Structure 1
Amino acid sequence: MKKKKKKKKKRKKKKKKKKKKKKKKKKKKKKKKKKKKKKKKKEEEQEEEEEEEEEEEEEEEKEEEQEEEEEECLCPEAQALRAWVSISLLLAYHLLSSRRLVLSSPSLLATSSNIPLPPPPTPPPRVWPGTMEGR
């Protein structure tokens, strides 16, 4: 009787161990599957982002080509006028930003753009020889 009981106990222990091993294997498989899914998702997202970037670059290139074609279509006089206007605008902006430009009518400029005007210059007080105070 005792031998039978011992054998039964051993069998039960073996079965339990097998079940535990199976459970562990299943968990490992699930983890691997999850990792694979995550990797696939990441790869797909990266591919989508790359495709979007390529499309944006293509669009930008097309726009640049269209601008170049438009410039080529203009007659040489129009091209020269366009270049002169762009250069003069850049020069005016530079002079205004450095505040070297003295305008005859600053109110006109103030109404045409939102650039704040510099305060009018004030002359320094005169100092007479022999005195430290200004008159």
Structure 2
Amino acid sequence: MFTYELQRRLAPHGTTVAVAAHPGMSSTELNRNAPAAFRLPTAWLGSLVTQTPTMGALPTLHPATDPAVLGGQYYGPAGRFEIMGHPRPVTSCPESYDVAVQRRLWTFSQDLTGVTFPVAAPASGAAVTA
């Protein structure tokens, strides 16, 4: 949601490459701090439902390095349920396209962090769609 708002704010200035990504499920050490109820099923299923850390990094690396990527896109693994696979543009949940909520998140983020971003919201309020 933050990325969609960032894209909308940057586009009038000629910057059109704000993108987001998720790694799917990767076999990393991040899971060791998860609640036990989550660790057990992932440990048991192992490589059946996870991919290597290298493959998990691709959904972030691809949009960062591919000049054909469009601003406002969201990348994730291409496999079933976006858990594993090579990166491709994916669709975020319908709620993430709510412009009013995106703007509230933007304002809340600035208030919470004390960081003011020097890009104003465009007057039109046009939605960003991937």
TM over 0.5: no
User: Which one has a larger percent strand, Structure 1 or Structure 2?
Assistant: 2
- Say which structure is richer in helix: 1
* TM-score (norm: length of structure 1): 0.22
Q: Taking CA–CA contacts closer than 8 Å with sequence separation of 6 or more, which of the two structures ends up with the larger relative contact order?
A: 2
